[in-house]
Chains A and B, each alone.
Chain A
Amino acid sequence: MTVQERPGAAYRPTPPPAWKPRTDPAPLLPDPEPYRVLGTGAASGADPELLLRLYAELVRGRRYNAQATALTKQGRLAVYPSSTGQEACQVAAALALEQRDWLFPSYRDTLAAVARGLDPVQALTLLRGDWHTGYDPHEHRIAPLSTPLATQLPHAVGLAHAARLEGDDVVALAMVGDGGTSEGDFHEALNFAAVWRAPVVFFVQNNGFAISVPLAKQTAAPSLAHKAVGYGMPGRLVDGNDAAAVHEVLGEAVARARRGGGPTLVEAITYRIDAHTNADDATRYRGDGEVEAWRAHDPIRLLETELTGRGLLDEDAVRAAAEGAEAMAARLRERMNADPVLHPMDLFEHVYAEQTGQLREQAAQLRAELEAEGAEDAHRAEGDAR
């Protein structure tokens, strides 16, 4: 543009021709106060049966976490990322879904899978190290526990999208940690879901840390739920230790998705009481005071107080729940103490539908090695016998 061509007095700037806001952001914005039920007026409306069910699952879940952590000390589990303190999120995620829905868990969400009905031992297969996924995902409608952060989120979107194309009213609930929200896949999944109006619920368990890194070093967003607005979906904040509140918020999001309302992002404010995994030293990045403050806001205690106050839970019932959990732990211990039977030839079994020539050769090599080993073992046994 030359100087002469500059707009003169007659020129009146107008907005760009195509611009108009596409979505009103106001209804998408999360209420900055995390939604709570227990200990508030909202609690009187909560269904007693549901509360009791949540209670039993929380108690079982806490015991499961303790037992699994103990199993790592005995060398029966390679590693266990405990969800102690986050049980309300785990249990509510499972109970908010119908049988036909799908759960997309991350590596920390073993408990959600168990609460959905997965065999506790099968749920630990990955962490035990005997095979990667110990169950048929289709049978339980639980995707494999995902170790690469946030990568399971686009899967949930694709599955929900496919279900809708097929005319099925299936919803996918995808779980991710606060750290995982920084990954590119988180962004792509939310964007796809919103554009496709896919029936997905994204459930962020904000437990304060990604291994050692606190949320403040992870994001500058007002809250993780606020991120929803940028994608054009509603964001919701909930007290993640309030099982009734999490169940209600997730339930609403699932119902909304099911009736074609599109995705929702739910952020649960919770805390990881245990270290990241049994291999982590949490004292290096957080103080005891912080942990104690969160212990005072314990999900089991919150619900117990509510139920006792309403006369729905007495000492006997508390004891019964504890005993049920103890029996589950004993069974788990016993079953985990049996050595898994592994077949080395399985290594080549499921790489392709049909084994390639290359794999057939390698399988033959391993078979020969195993036979030689077997012969050697037999030889040794023979020597011992003599």
Chain B
Amino acid sequence: MSTATARQAKPATMAQALQRAMRDAMSEDPAVHVLGEDVGTLGGVFRVTDGLAEEFGEDRCTDTPLAEAGILGTAVGMAMYGLRPVVEMQFDAFAYPAFEQLISHVSRMRNRTRGAMPLPITVRVPYGGGIGGVEHHSDSSEAYYMATPGLHVVTPATVEDAYGLLRKAIASDDPVVFLEPKRLYWSKADWSPDAPAAVEPIGRAVVRRTGRSATLVTYGPSVPVCMEAAEAAEAEGWDLEVVDLRSLVPFDDETVCASVRRTGRAVVVHESTGFGGPGGEIAARVTERCFHHLEAPVLRVAGFDIPYPPPMLERHHLPGVDRVLDAVARLQWEVESR
């Protein structure tokens, strides 16, 4: 970051950075339209679209009827006509009515028309737990999206990435499911909206912290958890590397495997269920590619395989620093099993 930028930087939240990304995209390209439930006058239930209707009018930032399939389905038609819709699904578990449109049409329109009809749609989904939400307000639905070819699946963990990745998602000619970790909406960073740092494109992971003894592979809401765990592990003599995936599809095998080859050990950390969750896929990929470099099996630290628990119990479900550290301790497997 240049000194000039650093001087301008002020604390900003992830929600503000996301809002700014939409605002900038809408200013630059009249084809960008925002639509969803309560996105207009209210500015979204998380205020992420705050002020957009005021600035760009109701035709550009539209309060739709309350119908997720209808929101995404009409966005398909809008994209067919040359617009770039940015759709807001109010909460993770309320995106399910739109799955039919997402899977049957959005993900495959480019393919079925042999490239003649790409759909540049961004589907923003606030996801994950940790905010004390009641039932249906805290699902981690990323595995469903990952299992659908034709979609990009992206999730930021930092304020800077929230801005940069959302700009890239809106500019993408392919549909992007943009998962917003809702417990990070209010996380702050010094960030300059007027000179945002260049952001790696969709599909690249970044090393958030370098280390030599093991790699924590993680994304979205679990990135801060892993950073904290890495700090804490220092006391135990572990020097952990943290890889933030940023994009689940496409998956950056290169960055992940380069890290694991260096450290020889890996733990995948996410909130989503372990069984059938993203961690299984990631562990398998790492094992297939780095087997000879591995000193221990790839471990997973995930949410339990249960429907998302009630708020008063969610702290027992969500993988926290201790569980990550326990897994790191288990990476001595090789030593013990001999």
Chain A interfacial positions (CB closer than 8 Å to B): 131-133, 135-139, 143-144, 148, 151, 153-163, 165-166, 172, 184-185, 187-189, 191-192, 195, 346, 349-353, 356-358
Contact = CB atoms under 8 A, between A and B. Distances in A.
Interface string B53-91: 000000100001101011011111111111101000000
A168 B99 CA distance: 31
Interface stretch (B14-22, B113-121, B262-270): B113-121
Interface of B: 33, 59, 64-65, 67, 69-70, 72-83, 85, 97, 100-101, 104-105, 108-118, 149-150, 152, 172-174, 203, 249-254
Prevailing SS type, chain A contact patch = helix
A160 B77 contact: yes
The 9 closest A-B pairs by CB, nearest first: A158-B77, A154-B73, A188-B70, A158-B74, A132-B112, A159-B77, A356-B250, A162-B81, A155-B77
A227 B119 CA distance: 31
Given A136-B116, A155-B76, A188-B70, A356 B203 contact: yes
A351 B149 contact: yes
Given A154-B74, A154-B76, A357-B254, A166 B81 contact: yes
Nearest to B120: A353
Nearest to A185: B69
Contacts of B97: 184
A143 B250 CA distance: 28
B67 A131 contact: no
Nearest to B175: A352
A188 to B, nearest CB: 3
Contact of B73 (A133, A136, A137, A151): A151
Contacts, number: 146
Contact of A151 (B80, B101, B250, B252): B101
A165 B82 CA distance: 11
Q: Which of A135, A163, A351 has the most CB of B within 10 A?
A: A351
Contacts of A154: 69-70, 72-74, 76-77, 101
B77 A172 contact: yes
Contacts of A191: 65, 67, 70
Contact of B250 (A159, A165, A358): A358
B74 A351 contact: no
A350 B115 contact: yes
A185 B77 contact: no
A155 B250 contact: no
Contact of A352 (B110, B114, B253): B110
Contact of B81 (A163, A184, A356): A163
